[in-house]
Amino acid sequence: MPEHAASRPQALILLSSARELTLSEPADHRLPTGFFLVEVAAVLAQFENDYDFILATPDGKPPQLDMNGLGLSFHGGKNTGTAAARTTIQSARKGFTPEGLRKKNQALVKRRDAELALSRRHLGRISVSAPLPKSDKEAIAIRDEVVASFEALPEKKYFSIQELIERHRDPDTAFSFQDLAFVHAPGGHGPMVDFHANPWMGELLNSLRENHVPISLICHGPVALTSARYRVTGDGEVITDNEHAFKGAKITTFAQVAERIVLASQYPKVPGERTRLPYFVDVALKDAGYDVSLALNPSGVKVIWDEKHALLTGNGPQAIDAQTARLTKIVRSRS
């Protein structure tokens, strides 16, 4: 981060650095996790020509890409649901090969390749999660190549949230949250680990709001709002305020019904075992006092802009294109 005024506007890309999510069932089972490619790449693609990105994770460690988000269907935009149905049927057919599936879904392959190139360009050397018993076969087939491509890169600087806040508070640095055009945080299950009930995350969210910075959160990313009840003083004291400024905000997120479908049959499912997360994001947000609105169709697109709280939320990878378009309008209207 330069200590002088930037020549281009800056945006903060906030990612989880979690590597594993401990399930509630089977007890103590650890699910390899990370962030979903499409949920950050669409924003990088839209803004990279005019904005500089500041990278951050809660603890300042590089993030991990969830290889399960590399499944071709996740790159279908608003048609993610139909793409998932199509590729599932194609993958189940006799004679399935990863190459054959790619040949039948060239538009999805092209988008994924472009998004991987974007991530290599902007995120630097990062790890990729391990495959699971129910991981997409075609995604498993490209994992080694993806791992090697990221391992060949130099590391980028990732700030911790605490470091960003201290720089913002330090009068001797030029960095200030008020200079940020926006903040965007993708999902994947990673945020359930280090965005949830995190005092420094709470201080960041409240500081961003006080400096009128639009906050964009998608899929599991909105779980960060469970941290908004916390503030951290300059002396490091954590203060809890259950009547915080974000309470009652209108938001959306990954719905429990969709999560149950994923847990029953898709990559998080532990074969032969009842599989449950430690909590559901939409339930945690409702319990925290938010006005949570969910899509009736689990694969449907839902994006909500709460102007009062400068808060933009989307319900999953199928919503990323609509959310990026809305974020673009918001940022332009504030420029």
DSSP secondary structure string, 132-184? -TTS-HHHHHHHHHHHHHHHTSPPPP-EEHHHHHHHHH-TTS---GGGEEEEE
Per-residue pLDDT tens digits for 93-139: 999 999 999 999 999 999 999 999 999 999 999 999 999 999 999 99
- Which residue segment(s) compose the domain that 261 sits in? 10-334
Domain count, the chain: 1
Supply the pLDDT for residue 298. 87
**What does the pLDDT look like over 152-192, one tens digit per residue?**
999 999 999 999 999 999 999 999 999 999 999 999 999 99
Q: Is residue 22 part of a domain?
A: yes
Its pTM surpasses 0.85: yes
Q: Tell me the DSSP string of 176-231.
A: -GGGEEEEEE--SSTHHHHTTT-HHHHHHHHHHHHTT--EEEETTGGGGGGGTTEE
Task: Determine the average pLDDT of the residues in 66-83.
Answer: 96
Asked if pLDDT for residue 4 goes beyond 70, the answer is no
Q: Measure the CA angle with vertex 190, ends 325 and 253; round to 5°.
A: 45
Whether residue 132 lies inside any domain: the answer is yes
- Residue 7's contacts (CB-CB under 8 Å, 6 or more residues apart) are none
DSSP line for 113-131: HHHHHHHHHHH-S-EEPPP
Count CB atoms within 10 A of the CB of residue 12. Answer: 21
Domain membership flag for residue 272: yes
The predicted pLDDT at position 1 comes to: 57
Q: What is the CATH number of the domain that holds 59?
A: 3.40.50.880
Is the per-residue pLDDT at 330 higher than 60? yes
Single out the residue of 107, 123, 140 nearest to residue 40, CA to CA: 123
Asked if the structure places residue 2 within a domain, the reply is: no
Q: How many CB atoms lie within 10 A of CB 305?
A: 18
Q: Structure tokens of 302?
A: 């839902």
Q: Indicate whether 76 belongs to any domain.
A: yes
Which residues lie closer than 8 Å to 148 by C-beta, 6 or more apart? none
Q: Is the pLDDT of residue 3 over 80?
A: no
pLDDT tens for residues 183-219? Answer: 999 999 999 999 999 999 999 999 999 999 999 999 9
For residue 3, tell me if it sits in a domain: no
**What tokens were used for 144?**
């080694």
Q: Judge whether 82 lies within some domain.
A: yes
With respect to residue 1, please indicate whether it lies within any of the assigned structural domains. no
- Using CA atoms, how far apart are residues 101 and 268, in angstroms rounded to an integer? 22
